[in-house]
Amino acid sequence: MTEGTISVMVVDDHPIWRDGVARDLSENGFDVRATAADGPAAVRIARTVRPSVVLMDLNLGTTSGVEATREITTALPETKVLVLSASGEHSDVLEAVKAGASGYLMKSASVVELVDAVRRTAAGDPVFTAGLAGLVLGEYRRMADAPEGGTEPPRLTERETDVLRFVAKGLTARQIAERLVLSHRTVENHVQSTLRKLQLHNRVELARYAIEHGLDED
């Protein structure tokens, strides 16, 4: 997927910030389809323009970016939400992820970091500002501490497990291909095969599964 094909919507209640982010993305080749100033407008407009990625602020005045995230990801499963927030509070990060956000980026990020984060989010990769990824990993590991019902996990090949381990570490398919000396297509095939075996839907869920099973650890 090239940047020119990635459509985005920017949601923020501060017009100067909102317009600035939209301008930065447009100048870097993204298709900025819409902006919104509050949660209800974001949900309504997203249903119409169906962007690939929604950049979502959490503090939208009287409305909640978390609830807007939940509604958008429920109504539009193909649309990814990347939170762009000034808050690094652990509770905010975890609530956003639980609501369906694919990633969480601090507003202190540079334009280069923002562009890379939007591109990776559109590709299905979980993206987090440094320091926040560990928080999310720890939470999913804690949630997985209590085993369910003793069902036997699906059997993955050694190569599928290798790929899954790198997915958990946040590497892109191309980076994984370089690490394992495989073609990009072969890595994608392993990812799709693993998704089918685990009955998961996307790379974000795949990363969560890997984290829950400790595959992000060396």
Query: Each residue of 137-186: pLDDT tens digit?
Result: 566 555 545 445 445 556 788 888 888 888 877 788 889 999 998 888 88
Nearest-angstrom CA–CA distance, 100 and 195: 18
Q: Is residue 138 part of a domain?
A: no
Q: Which domain holds residue 185?
A: 143-212
Say if residue 90 is in the same domain as residue 192.
Answer: no
Nearest-angstrom CA–CA distance, 82 and 105: 7
Q: Is residue 85 part of a domain?
A: yes
Query: Each residue of 37-49: pLDDT tens digit?
Result: 999 999 999 999 9
Asked which of 72, 102, 130 is the last residue of a domain, the reply is: 130
Q: What is the model's pLDDT at position 173?
A: 85
Give me the CATH number covering residue 109. Answer: 3.40.50.2300
Say if residue 120 is in the same domain as residue 33.
Answer: yes
Say if residue 122 is in the same domain as residue 28.
Answer: yes
* Number of domains the chain is built from: 2
Mean pLDDT, residues 73-80 taken together: 91
Three-state DSSP class for residue 36: strand
Q: Is residue 137 part of a domain?
A: no
Q: Which parts of the chain are beta strand (E)?
A: 7-11, 31-36, 53-56, 59-60, 63-64, 80-85, 103-106, 127-128
Q: Which residues contact 7 (CB under 8 A, 6 or more apart)?
A: 30, 31, 32, 33, 49, 50, 51, 52, 53
Say if residue 170 is in the same domain as residue 120.
Answer: no
Three-state DSSP class for residue 158: helix
Query: Each residue of 162-171: pLDDT tens digit?
Result: 888 888 777 8
Say if residue 10 is in the same domain as residue 117.
Answer: yes
Q: Which residues contact 113 (CB under 8 A, 6 or more apart)?
A: 105
Please indicate whether residue 89 or residue 39 has the higher confidence score (pLDDT).
39
Nearest-angstrom CA–CA distance, 113 and 22: 15
148, 217 in Cβ contact below 8 A?
A: no
| Torsion 13-16-17-23 (CA) sign | positive
Nearest-angstrom CA–CA distance, 91 and 88: 9
Q: Is residue 135 part of a domain?
A: no
Say if residue 126 is in the same domain as residue 158.
Answer: no
